[in-house]
Amino acid sequence: MARAFSGDPLAQYVFLEDAIRRQRLVSVYRLFLRVFEQKGFVSTNDDRTAALCLPPGRYPLSLTEHLWLLPSMMLATCVA
């Protein structure tokens, strides 16, 4: 997923350097996968395609859930 989104304009804006962007996106998407596995579901196939879904009523995450994720997101993005 990090490779697929490394050219995304938002990712390029947040992480200016290509090498750092790829590393940070790996960490960010690892965190996203963990959240979606716990709160929703993740589906993949042999074509390296993935779908991450949250069921109705599970999005947006609560304030408590966002606060719980904050330290992990700061580590993933190295914003500290």
Maximum Cα interatomic distance, the chain, rounded to a whole number of Å: 37
pLDDT at residue 40 tops 90: yes
Name the burial class of residue 28, with classes exposed (0-12), middle (13-18) and buried (19+) by CB atoms within 10 angstroms of its CB: buried
Mean pLDDT of 41-62: 91
Q: Could you report the per-residue pLDDT of 14-32, keeping only the tens digit for each?
A: 999 998 999 999 999 999 9
Q: Could you report the per-residue pLDDT of 55-72, keeping only the tens digit for each?
A: 999 989 999 999 999 999
